[in-house]
Amino acid sequence: MIDNLPLILMIETSTQICSVAISKGKEILAIRDIDIPNAHSSRLSLLIEEILEESNLRYKDLSAIAVSKGPGSYTGLRIGVSSAKGFAYGLDIPLISVETLRILQKAVKAKYPQAYALTMIDARRMEVYCSIFDEEGNIVKELSADIIEEDIYKDYFKLDKQFVVVGDGAKKCSEAFSKYENLIFDEDIKLSTRYMSEMVYDKFVTKDFEDVAYFEPYYLKNFVAAPAKVKGLY
């Protein structure tokens, strides 16, 4: 900890995006975001080393580790959470977790301060993990795994509000929701650790820490393996 403000390593790997950052208090000191398929296992450690070097810090300078806990990709979450737990245990520092869809809500708030946030993570086929937040960040629709249909959220869309639809599950909804004029699909808003720092700092101050030994990602659904694509394996 420097100047009495915590130095926190933040990790976000719940989708194809791999994002890491170091914050001092609520300020981002260094950040890396990459959007490359299947890169988490090979690039995560390298990205962390880069931001530590850029910040002129060492692992022993860190005050806590923070990680996006899900829902999201089973493999991505497993890699991110396993790494975060390993660092927290090895360095004997606290582990903090934040909900993935809450990160997207913070991103919407930063760009559209008066809009509702319809946050979606792809859950394969026409299913998404979805939460809806109002302009103050209050939960309007609790997190659930939903099969996308034209009128699934019609009661929410009837509200005299603008909705910003974000996340890697949003694209599959654009056609189904085309009749609703109060929706904005913003593909430029993506998951990133840059939107975690405020939440993470608040949790550090209140000592809202996870039990490193027992903490697990929030998958929401049980993992189902895809059929093998190697010839001879069925």
Domains of the chain plus CATH, in order, are: 7-99+191-205 (3.30.420.40), 101-185 (3.30.420.40)
pLDDT (0 to 100) of residue 195: 98
Q: What does the pLDDT profile of the chain (234 residues) look like in tens digits?
A: 557 899 999 999 999 999 999 999 999 999 999 999 888 999 999 999 999 999 999 999 999 999 999 999 999 999 999 999 999 999 999 999 999 999 999 999 999 999 999 999 999 889 999 999 999 999 999 999 999 999 999 999 999 999 999 999 999 999 999 999 999 999 999 999 999 999 999 999 999 999 999 999 999 875 444 444 444 433
**Residue 113 to residues 27, 28, 82, 83, 135: CA-CA distances in angstroms?**
20, 21, 34, 33, 6
In this structure, the strands spanning 17-24 and 27-35 are: antiparallel
pLDDT (0 to 100) of residue 229: 42
CB 171 within 8 A of CB 187: yes
pLDDT (0 to 100) of residue 3: 74
Burial class (CB in 10 A: 0-12, 13-18, 19+), 134: middle
For the residues of 177-228, what is the DSSP string, one character each?
TTT-TTEEE-TT----GGGTHHHHHHHHHTT--B-TTT-----SS---PPPP
Provide, for the chain, the percentages of residues in helix, strand and coil under a 3-state DSSP scheme, each rounded to the nearest 5. 30, 30, 45
pTM of the prediction? 0.92
Distance, CA of 234 to CA of 183 (rounded, Å): 43
pLDDT (0 to 100) of residue 4: 87
pLDDT (0 to 100) of residue 136: 97
In this structure, the strands spanning 116-122 and 163-166 are: parallel
pLDDT (0 to 100) of residue 222: 59
